[in-house]
Amino acid sequence: MKMFFLRYEPSSLGATNLLLRCVAIALIVALAGCADKPTYEIDYDQKFTFSQYQSYRWYDDDHASRESQYRRQNSSDQQVRSVANAELTTRGFKETTRGNADFWVNYHVTKRQTQKITGQEQGMHGGVGVSNYGKSVSVGYSSGPSVKTYEDGTAVFDVIDIRTNKIVWRGVAEGRLKNKMSYADKQELRATVLHELLSAFPPQ
């Protein structure tokens, strides 16, 4: 969307002050729009005694499927495992052999495309303002609304009780993804999301 503006200001001093204020407000809005951080939600069985947990296994290792086979061979998924293992170890949990674990851990990552339409309809737009410094007239032309396409990502991390085969804790992270993410960006995002989610496990 392209905008062209013609302004008339009788008082140069008043116009300068007004322009500075407008620029400052525009910068604040722009910075706020860039600060799009993930949101986190935690849900768990409040009646469950998590203090009994000491060891875990990955759900994929005990339940064969096409998805589990793919994730065991995919480098990105292996990095997720590595980061999650480090976080769980820091919290006193140990990955152990089959048949000796207290709980399984599992995760899912999904992405979806979203379109956001902003701006005015095509045509001329204008207005007149009155202040202590006189009148100001603004005239603009909009080429029409702009359409932005971006991706939203959702990561779900589950803790499943082995004895009952039920999910007893779940962490969910949601946020907008960058259009172009470098390898370092992806690593940083994985580490941040897993740290934030698992910092709430076990619930206190």
Reduced to 3 DSSP states, what percent helix, strand and coil does the chain have, rounded to the nearest 5? 35, 40, 25
Q: Tell me what the mean pLDDT of segment 90-110 comes to.
A: 95
Tokens (6 digits) for 154 = 């959702």
**pTM: predicted TM-score of the whole model, two decimal places:** 0.65
Over the chain, what is the mean pLDDT? Answer: 76
Distance CA 58, CA 56 (A): 7
Query: Does the pLDDT value for residue 58 go beyond 60?
Result: yes
Distance CA 4, CA 6 (A): 7
pLDDT at residue 83, as a whole number: 95
pLDDT at residue 119, as a whole number: 58
- 180: pLDDT confidence band, cut at 50, 70 and 90? confident
Q: Of all helices (H) and strands (E), which one includes residue 3?
A: strand 3-8
Helix (H, G, I), strand (E, B) or coil at 37: coil
Sheet bearing 123-131, strands edge to edge: 3-8, 134-142, 123-131
Q: What amino acid occupies position 54? A: Q
Distance CA 78, CA 151 (A): 23
User: Can you list the domains of the chain with their CATH numbers?
Assistant: 3-198 (3.30.160.670)
Measuring CA to CA, how many Å separate 124 from each of 88, 135, 137, 144, 146?
59, 20, 13, 10, 16
pLDDT at residue 64, as a whole number: 87
